[in-house]
Amino acid sequence: MAYDKLQLLREGKTKRFWLTSNPKQAIAEFRDDPTMYHSKKKEYFTGKGALCNQINAILMQVLQENNIPTHFLEQIDQNCTLVKRAEMIPVEVVVHNYTAGSMCRRLGLEAHKKLKFPVMEFCYKNDELNDPVINEYHAYAMGLCTQEEMTIMTYNAMRVNKVLCDLFDSIGMVVADFKLEFGRVGNFLVVADEITPNVGRFWDKDSMSRIKYTLGSAEKEYEIILERLKQAAKDLL
């Protein structure tokens, strides 16, 4: 079935969202030149959007197979996915399994160390403020979400972490950390936005670092992750 992009709804760091003929649905178009890690880093190569779109499609479907609700409907072409329109909650839920990035800088931790327990952090999604770290009480006081919604987000974030860790372990990788966003669809909360290397660190088990550092190519890294996920998905989807 063909889907037409009728009107640009909004443009984010990694995607454009388009209105469709169905007011409850939108088209998410993945771009080649997204920013990463809270807009502090850009990593561009031709075809990146298509690779991210395919990686995201597999991961969202795996979540749904594990009874974790998402806004994903179907991948419709190389760069585009049909999604449910959601009212996004301006809170990013970040799950850390290993020390890396800003967590090390803020807390003085040695990088690339496995944490004794997964750490969950929250960021206020605000580009002008550089997505500052907040706690749940900030979220309630600022009216970003309700206590019930926070409970659902944290519960599902830990479920997502378990599913992703098991999946990536099966393809010879570890999930160092990743960011989730949630949206309201009717009376339900769903995992929305994306799950790709744009918003997470997925390390090779042998080197315990990004594949691009051993191969010298970010493009090859994304291609390898996609190929490994495709193989794993044959038994899961």
Query: What would the pLDDT profile of 52-96 be if each residue is shown by its tens digit?
Result: 999 999 999 999 999 999 999 999 999 999 999 999 999 999 999
State the pLDDT at residue 39.
Answer: 47
What share of the chain in percent tops pLDDT 70?
95
| Structural domain contains residue 1 | no
Residues 123 and 137 reside in one and the same domain: yes
User: Distance (Å, rounded) from C-alpha 32 to C-alpha 14?
Assistant: 8
State the pLDDT at residue 6.
Answer: 87
Mean pLDDT of all residues belonging to the chain: 94
Confidence of residue 1 (pLDDT cuts 50, 70, 90): low
State the pLDDT at residue 12.
Answer: 86
State the pLDDT at residue 40.
Answer: 55
Where is average pLDDT lowest: 12-16, 141-145, 172-176, 202-206? 12-16
State the pLDDT at residue 37.
Answer: 46
Query: How much is the average pLDDT of 203-218?
Result: 92
| Structural domain contains residue 236 | no
Residues 79 and 163 reside in one and the same domain: no
Range of the domain at 148: 87-218
Residues 137 and 179 reside in one and the same domain: yes
Written in H, E and C, the secondary structure of the chain is CCCCCCEEEEECCCEEEEECCCCCEEEEEECCCCEECCCCEECCCCCHHHHHHHHHHHHHHHHHHCCCCECEEEECCCCEEEEECCEECCEEEEEEEECCHHHHHHHCCCCCCEEEEEEEEEEECCHHHCCCEECHHHHHHCCCCCHHHHHHHHHHHHHHHHHHHHHHHHCCEEEEEEEEEEEEECCEEEEECCCCCCCEEEEECCCCECHHHHHCCHHHHHHHHHHHHHHHHHHHC
Residues 80 and 107 reside in one and the same domain: no
Domain count, the chain: 2
Residues 99 and 190 reside in one and the same domain: yes
State the pLDDT at residue 38.
Answer: 47
